[in-house]
Every structure is written in C-alpha cells, then in structure tokens.
Chains A and B, each alone.
Chain A
Amino acid sequence: MASIELRGVSKRYPNGLYGVRDIDLKIRDGEFVIFLGPSGCGKSTTLRLIAGLESVTSGDLLIGDQSMVGVPPRDRDVAVVFQSYALYPHMTVAANMAFGLKMRKMPRREIATRVDRAADLLGLSHLLTRKPAALSGGQRQRVALGRAIVREPKVFLFDEPLSNLDAQLRAEMRLELVKLHRRLGRTIIHVTHDQIEAMTMGDRICIMREGRLIQSGPPLEVYANPVDTFVARFLSSPPMNLLPAHLEVDGDGLTVKLGEAIRLAVPERHVPAYRAVAGRPVTFGLRPEDIHEQPPAPTQQGFEVQVVALEALGAETNLVAQPTASGALPEITARLGRQARARTGETVTLYPDLLSMHLFDPETGAVIPRPPLDAPR
C-alpha cells in the first residue's frame, strides 16, 4: 500500500520564504498524478518533502497510512527522477542504474536482468559502459529515468523526466511511462510543463501556484471546470479568452454585455446559477475552441472582429482577432479548423458557443460556479 497523504503541509526555508504552503492532498495507492504549475510554484519542493530529502516545517505527511516524520529517504521506498538528473558522474550508466539495487543487496543476476530490461526499454543498451559526461542531455535524462525504474519502488516521483527529449522520443517515453504504470500499478507523481503530458498521462492533475495547491481533479474535469482565471489560462494553449463583461437581466434570461455593443444571451441552463451575480461586472471566459466561424446553433449571435494574425498549425488554425465593437476589448484567440477562411486584416463574424462559457469574479479571479457540462469523452 502506498497511498500518499499530505495534511496541511508547509515548507518554510531558512530565508523565511515558503516553498509550499498548506497543501492538503490525498493520493490513492496506484494513482498517477500530474503536478502542473508555473516555475517556482513548489512542485519540486513537494517531491522533495515526499521523498524525505527536506523536512516538513508543519503539517503531516503519510505514505501508506504511516506518518513519515523522521523517516529517512532510504526507508520510504521512493524513487526520484531529479529535475537535474543527478547522475553519479564517477559511475557508468549501468552502475548508475544498479546503484539503488546494490544498496538494497539484491542478487547480482537480478540486478543485471533489471538493468538490461530498463536499458532496453529506454534505448540505452548501447551506452551502458559510458560515463554520464559522455552522454547527451536526452540520454542523461533517460539514464535518470532508468535508475528510478529498475528499483520498482512503492512510489515514483518524476520531476520533469521528459523535458529534454525531442518530440518523437518524448511521445514514445510518455507511452512507456503510462505502460509502466499499468504494468506495475505503482503510485506515480509526475511533474511537467507539457500540455500533452498533463492532459493525457495521469488520472488526476494537481495545479499549483505560489506554493499552494489550487485545484486537483481528473484532467478533463479540471479543463472543463477551472476554479479560477489562473487555472483557466494555465491549462491550455492558447489560453482561455478572458474579457471584462457585464451581466445584465434580460426578461427571464441573462445577457453578457461585452464592451458597449456586444450582447450575448446566456444559455437557459446556466441562467439559474448566474442569476445571483446579475447586474455586476464579471470576467467572461471562453476557450479558443469554443469560438467558431459558423454559428453552432442557428439562433446563436455572433460579433465582428478584425483578424490580427493567423497561425496555421496544419491540423488547426489559431486566429487572433480584435473585436471591432467599441469599449476597449482585448484581443481574442479562436481555434478554427484547418479550412479557416478568414484572412489577416479582414473583418469577419465569429460565433461563441456560450454553453461552454465561464464567469469569474473580476476582483478575485475565482469562478462563479455553475453546474458542470458533462465532461466530453
């Protein structure tokens, strides 16, 4: 059993700064959890605390229902892939991978088998006798990964383990890690900055900011229901459009007023949830993929924009545009299909799909809750 539980965990460094603050998180045995957040938000610190490399300042940390206070790293049965790799420079690749097994007094034959298997999996077989100094960055990173994998510990802590690989290798390794997880069923925490890794690999995403855990949940759920503007913008690229707006009562319904002239009717199913904030300024959020060139429904209102830039990515086209209506609106981004017809400089009409709209408090950035749409599957 290797569930991990953090109860109000804080880490304060001697210089008075907090690495992480009041983290409450329960990770089930065998769960694959993604940590996501901007640089310096405390992801690595959290891993170090779980691994026992730094001590928790306050709060309690449990692995497998046992408090880990005072338990040294070697007794936690945790393997870490360090962000810096931290390969042993005086040992060969093979010795690097074997070190942890040797420390645990595993028989030589078994060590050799495991090292060979991991090397094979990671494409390192031809490098086993080299020293780290004679490897490329990506090769070093895979050695670091191999050193963790061979141990088959209760818990894997991966700190951006694929950051230095090329796109193709990264896709392969992503798959290998998912397979590894399926095969061994161990608890994994995986830190990443990569959009695809974050959305596809884990059972759950934990989003951190400034040392705090601000949202956690299954990737698609978090994507569909961000708790605030930060999560809304952070979890996708291009990020969610956020526009200053006013919510007005319109008979039985509600209207989102953007700038002076754009009025968009709030779909009926969202009206009950949003009625409480009617008459107030709000931040209106809509993801780029929820803005279309054609109306999603015949009655859907659109608004005019002038196209500022087009990014044709092959499978899709990102369109950056300035709403032409008066009222100092920021530029918006729409994610259109391959056959987007708009051209730079043109004025076109875009149709937002308001079913996927979000409203946020303009002061705090917190979401104004509404019932979730069924997560698309």
Chain B
Amino acid sequence: MTDSAGQGRGSGLRLLLTHALLILVCLVILLPLLWVLRVSLLPPSLSYSTDLSAPLSLVNFESLFSGRFPRSYLNSLVVATGSVLLALPFAAATGYAFARFTTGGAVARFSVLATQMLPPVVIALPIFQMFQTLDLSNTLTGLILAYAALNLPFLTWILMGFFKGIPVDLEWAAMTDGATAWGAFWRVVLPVSLPGLAAAGVLGFILAWNEFLFALILSGPNTATIPVALAALQTSNGIQIGDVAAGVVLAVLPLMIASRFIQRFIVEGLTLGSVK
C-alpha cells in the first residue's frame, strides 16, 4: 500500500516530512561529533569559542603526539586485535557446537548469555586480584586475556546464530562427498561463515577498543589504552579539551573503517544460492 501511495498525491508533503525528521535525527546524532571534530582542529585557547571563522590548526594533534598517546593507540590496536584473534576460534567452536548439537543443553546456552548480564564491576575486582597474583596486571598480555574472556560469550552468541543459519544439508553433502565431520566444518562451514566471522570479529574489536573499566584497573602508564589515556587528560589543571577532542577523533577513525566492513559482511549473505 505504501509503495503505491508513493506515486499518489500528497506524497510530496509526506516525503518532505519524512526527510525533515530524518535530518533532525541525523543532526542530533552528528552535531556532537561535528563539535568534537571542530574543537580538535581549534587551538586550545579557542576551544569554547563560537566563532565559526576561527582559524583551524593541528596544534592539538601535535601536542597529543608528543605525549604518550601514540603509545596508547598502539596498545589499543594490539589489545583489541589480539583479544579478538584469541577469542574467535574458541567462540566459533562453541557457537558451532551450540548451533548443531544439543551440547550442554539450555543451561550452557543461558550461562553464556548470563555472563553478559552481569555488571562488569562484579568481575572487575576478582580479575584484578587474580591478575595481581599472576603478575599479569600492567601487561598487554593481561589485557588481551581479559578482553578475550569478555568477548568470548558475546562472540559465541553471535556466531551461534550465524551457524544456525547455515543449512545442515551443506555439511551432509560434504559428508556424503567423503569429508569427515571436521572436514565438512573446515572446508564448507568455515568458508561459508567467513563473512559472519569477520562481522563478529569487528564487533569484538569495537567492544575491546571502547572498553574502559577493565583497562583502567588492569593497565599501567605504559599499557594504557585509548579510553584510559583520554581520561588521563583530565589533569589537575583541568580538562585539556582540545587534546581530548583530537584523541576522540583519532579513536573514532578505526571504528568508522570497521563499520564499513561490518556492513559489507553482514549484508552479503554468502549462503545465498546454496539451497533453493
């Protein structure tokens, strides 16, 4: 009905209203980001100025790069990537088992989900204690382990859904064609699920990239990740808003790239064409 209505009279007004609403929503979402972008490009003295003609400068970025920020950036990259690479194989295996077999029953499935419902603080303290004893606090390895653990249930859940969507006939075909159960997984299920794995990986990356609480407790000056480094810019001299804005802009960059990927992977349904 709405399709044909698009051709009719009065549709112009409707189109206008729709777009006005969309633009409004976009502005609500975009304005803060645009403001941050602008502040990052203004000299600190003009940070709060409303003068739209103020001259732009890269001084904030320069000051950021002269400090510890590049180090933190690298830390974040290493930790986010490392934790995803570590968690993904386990999540894939568990997700596949959950999707195809009755392994663990509803209890196992729920407990995986339940870990996501706990407030992070609840596990933060025990983890801190544990990592202290194991000499893992203040190390990137520790952070990678912690984030892998955080990511595991989340990725498992996502991948379970993805594997469920792959018709079991595909594996059966591979098995009658001479593959073992493992071979069917490796040669058919895995290649078919690559987009899903990539999408899950990107989501896990974002999760780790933005994480603050654990990073704060578990990292030291040399192992701080971006969120911690940005928070540290609130010094006793007040918030260095220019530096923070520049840091946020840099922090958002990989997420923007990631979101492009994720769109492509999720939209691209690779199983298309395998079954009727």
Contact = CB atoms under 8 A, between A and B. Distances in A.
B149 to A, nearest CB: 32
B183 A103 contact: yes
Interface string A68-90: 00001110101110101111111
Given A74-B178, A74-B179, A89 B172 contact: no
B176 A78 contact: yes
Contact of A140 (B179, B187, B276): B276
A104 interface: yes
Interface size of A as a range: 35 or more
A156 to B, nearest CB: 11
A88 B175 contact: no
B183 A86 contact: no
A190 interface: no
20 contacts: A14-B102, A72-B175, A74-B180, A76-B176, A80-B172, A86-B167, A86-B170, A86-B172, A86-B173, A86-B275, A87-B275, A88-B174, A99-B174, A100-B178, A103-B177, A103-B183, A131-B273, A133-B273, A140-B273, A164-B276
A72 B180 contact: yes
A103 B275 contact: no
Contact of B172 (A73, A87, A104, A140): A73
A14 B18 CA distance: 50
A135 interface: yes
A251 B199 CA distance: 85
Interface of B: 102, 167, 169-170, 172-181, 183, 187-188, 191-192, 270-276
A82 B176 CA distance: 11
A53 interface: yes
B272 A89 contact: yes
B175 A84 contact: no
A369 B223 CA distance: 89
Given A53-B176, A103-B179, A89 B271 contact: yes
Contacts of A86: 167, 169-170, 172-173, 274-275
A287 interface: no
Leading 10 A-B pairs by shortest Cβ distance: A133-B273, A103-B178, A100-B177, A86-B169, A132-B273, A89-B274, A84-B275, A86-B173, A73-B175, A90-B191
A204 interface: no
A3 to B, nearest CB: 19
Given A86-B167, A86-B170, A74 B274 contact: no
A54 to B, nearest CB: 9
B270 to A, nearest CB: 6
Contacts of B270: 89-90
B176 A74 contact: yes
Contacts of B169: 82, 84-86
Contacts of A103: 177-179, 183
Contacts of A87: 173, 273-275
Contacts of B191: 90
A73 B273 contact: no
A135 B273 contact: yes
A240 B180 CA distance: 48
Interface of A: 14, 48, 51-53, 72-74, 76, 78-80, 82, 84-90, 99-100, 103-104, 131-135, 137, 140-141, 147, 151, 164
Given A84-B169, A89-B192, A90-B191, A79 B176 contact: yes
Pick from B167, B173, B175 the residue with the most CB of A within 10 Å.
Answer: B173
A90 B192 contact: yes
Contacts of A51: 172, 176
Contacts of A82: 169, 172-173
Nearest to B175: A73
A232 B175 CA distance: 38
Contacts of B172: 48, 51, 53, 73, 80, 82, 86
B178 A85 contact: no
Nearest to A105: B178
Which of B172, B178, B183 counts the most chain A CB atoms within 10 A? B178
Contacts of A132: 273-274
Contacts of B175: 53, 72-74
A201 B105 CA distance: 46
A170 to B, nearest CB: 16
Nearest to A104: B178
A48 B179 CA distance: 16
A73 B192 contact: no
B176 A84 contact: no
Contact of A88 (B183, B274, B276): B274
B182 to A, nearest CB: 11
Nearest to B271: A89
B141 to A, nearest CB: 35
B104 to A, nearest CB: 15
A76 to B, nearest CB: 8
